[in-house]
């Protein structure tokens, strides 16, 4: 199948048309190619380094969470030109899914993180742009410090903890969603997990009696692209490779 056919399948799978997102996210096929898709490179970020990795791995397409056009209209020059030129010169298509990938009930970043920590009784949580983009659920009672250790071991990333306490109920939104902490506090959840936050979130967690775990923007958003890659392999036999380029943030 070619990039247009695969993009059409992904658009329907991820409900691209219906999910609200930043206009600059440009969800869907961002760069087309000419040939058939036999190998897909999966990455959190469409940066120059992951594009080089995709080229070296012999990929005909990249599937990413953070695409190329966050700055809106911009001239094709400098590194922006270099990235797009490398894709075109090497006949590599690029497909990006931001909030649609976060939110997917089976393949999304939030579902992958919830499964990673064994969260049960999942329900939608965390309103952003009028829609719930995260999940909440329950765990057998454990200290937040123990949940922190579990995340570090399973994500392979450093995790920051504020407001240590016993945890039974957890809300999570992957990526940079520190300010959704206040919704976790309002709902009386014991813990909130996200990728990154601000200095003020530390005090909100302590004063709101809600443990806050910051597990890294990158680390919390590797699960979705991997899940989609496995799905495409099972559905179409398409080979995939995870292009791991961690930022540590």
Instruction: Judge if 81 and 13 occupy the same domain.
Output: yes
* 234 part of a folded domain: no
Instruction: Judge if 114 and 211 occupy the same domain.
Output: yes
Domain range holding 35?
3-98
Residue-wise pLDDT tens digits, 97-154: 999 999 999 999 999 999 999 999 999 999 998 999 999 999 999 999 999 999 999 9
Question: Rounded to an integer, what distance in angstroms lies between the CA atom of residue 95 and that of residue 31?
Answer: 7
Instruction: Judge if 134 and 202 occupy the same domain.
Output: yes
Binding residues: 65-66, 102, 217, 221
Note the pLDDT of residue 71. Answer: 83
Binding residues for a divalent metal cation: 65-66, 102, 217, 221
Residue-wise pLDDT tens digits, 165-198: 999 999 999 999 999 999 999 999 999 999 999 9
Of all residues in the chain, what percent carry a pLDDT higher than 90? 96
Instruction: Judge if 81 and 109 occupy the same domain.
Output: no
Written as six digits, the tokens of 188 are 């009386």
Instruction: Judge if 207 and 131 occupy the same domain.
Output: yes
- Say what the pTM is: 0.96
- CATH code assigned at 83: 3.40.1390.30
- Distances in whole angstroms, Cα of residue 220 to Cα of each of 12, 38, 61, 99: 24, 27, 23, 14
């Amino acid at each position: 199948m070619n990039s247009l056919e695969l993009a059409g399948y992904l658009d329907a799978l991820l409900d691209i048309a219906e999910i609200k997102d930043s206009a600059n996210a440009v969800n869907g096929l961002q760069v087309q190619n000419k040939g058939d898709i036999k190998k897909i490179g999966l990455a959190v970020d469409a940066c120059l380094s992951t594009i080089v990795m995709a080229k070296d791995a012999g990929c005909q397409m990249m599937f990413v969470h953070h695409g190329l056009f966050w700055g809106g209209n911009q001239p094709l020059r400098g590194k922006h030109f270099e990235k797009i030129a490398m894709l075109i010169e090497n006949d590599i298509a690029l497909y990006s899914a931001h909030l649609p990938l976060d939110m997917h009930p089976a393949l999304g970043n939030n579902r992958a993180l919830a499964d990673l920590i064994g969260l049960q009784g999942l329900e939608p949580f965390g309103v952003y742009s009028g829609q719930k983009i995260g999940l909440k659920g329950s765990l057998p009672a454990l200290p937040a410090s123990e949940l922190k250790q579990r995340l570090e071991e399973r994500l392979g990333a450093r995790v920051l903890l504020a407001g240590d306490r016993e945890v039974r109920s957890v809300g999570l939104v992957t990526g940079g969603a520190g300010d959704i902490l206040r919704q976790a506090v309002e709902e009386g959840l014991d813990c909130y997990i996200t990728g990154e936050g601000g200095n003020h979130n530390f005090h909100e967690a302590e004063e709101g009696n809600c443990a806050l775990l910051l597990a890294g923007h990158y680390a919390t958003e590797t699960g979705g692209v991997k899940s989609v890659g496995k799905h495409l392999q099972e559905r179409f036999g398409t080979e995939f490779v995870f292009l791991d380029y961690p930022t540590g943030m």
